């Protein structure tokens, strides 16, 4: 029985782990609401209720914190978990639900373009964690090109519907736009041999 109690204690997250998680979540919120260029470590420390020295100890400089924060939000597996025939509908549903999330990966990516350091990090992570997995899933000759097109369509949709807040005239128009997004994405996937 002592072994079970010891195992339970070892599995309990440490204070350091909880602080790291709080810092990372705070950074994700800050970078997705104001962008890399406009967020400093002091602001993240204030949100995380810690000192900037802890952020630097756990994550290093701001660019490494940004990289880790963005990397943890870029997960395309829900889009790829299913058949090709339903990809467009699955992806459109994902992006139309995305607005309810507090941390917006696409918004972090778009804001990252305003600074050369964050832009380089975002481009590398997009290639590794979005384009390559989608291209591998597509598995055809033009897979990378098609994966980039899928990313372009999704980021454009997100930019106009979430950041610029270009709204349709009614809920019916909004539903029509989501349907249009599904059709456009499905057309890209259907082009694979």
pLDDT in tens, 35-77: 899 999 999 999 999 999 999 999 999 999 999 999 999 999 9
Burial class (CB in 10 A: 0-12, 13-18, 19+), 189: buried
Predicted local distance difference test score (pLDDT) of residue 189: 94
Lowest model confidence (mean pLDDT) among 35-44, 140-149, 156-165, 184-193:
156-165
pLDDT in tens, 179-193: 999 999 999 999 866
Beta strand segments in 32-112, E: none
Integer angstrom CA distances of residue 70 from 56, 60, 98, 106, 172: 17, 15, 15, 9, 33
Predicted local distance difference test score (pLDDT) of residue 165: 73
Predicted local distance difference test score (pLDDT) of residue 90: 93
Phi, psi at 133, each rounded to 5°? -60, -40
pLDDT in tens, 90-132: 999 887 775 555 677 888 998 899 999 999 999 999 999 999 9
Phi, psi at 113, each rounded to 5°? -70, -15
Q: Where in the chain is the domain with CATH 1.10.10.60?
A: 13-71
Residue where the block lists tokens 């990372």: 24
Beta strand segments in 33-118, E: none
Tokens of 108: 């972090």
Residue 14: which pLDDT band, with cuts at 50, 70 and 90?
confident
Query: Mean pLDDT in the chain?
Result: 86
- Positive or negative, the CA dihedral 23, 24, 27, 29 is negative
Q: Which CATH superfamily is domain 13-71 in?
A: Homeodomain-like (1.10.10.60)
């Amino acid at each position: 029985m002592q072994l079970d109690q010891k195992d339970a204690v070892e599995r309990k997250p440490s204070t350091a782990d909880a602080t790291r998680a709080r810092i990372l979540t705070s950074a994700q919120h800050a970078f997705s609401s104001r962008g890399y260029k406009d967020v400093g470590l002091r602001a993240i420390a204030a949100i995380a209720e810690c000192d900037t020295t802890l952020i630097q100890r756990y994550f290093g400089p701001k660019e490494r914190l940004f990289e880790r924060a963005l990397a943890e939000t870029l997960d395309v597996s829900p889009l790829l978990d299913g058949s090709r025939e339903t990809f467009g509908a699955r992806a459109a549903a994902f992006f139309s639900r995305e607005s309810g999330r507090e941390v917006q990966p696409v918004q972090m990516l778009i804001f990252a373009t305003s600074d050369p350091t964050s832009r380089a990090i975002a481009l590398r992570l997009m290639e590794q964690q979005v384009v390559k997995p989608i291209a591998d899933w597509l598995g055809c000759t033009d897979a990378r090109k098609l994966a980039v097109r899928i990313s372009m369509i999704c980021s454009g949709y997100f930019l106009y519907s979430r950041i610029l807040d270009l709204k349709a005239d009614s809920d019916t128009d909004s539903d029509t736009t989501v349907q249009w997004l599904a059709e456009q994405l499905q057309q890209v996937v259907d082009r694979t041999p």
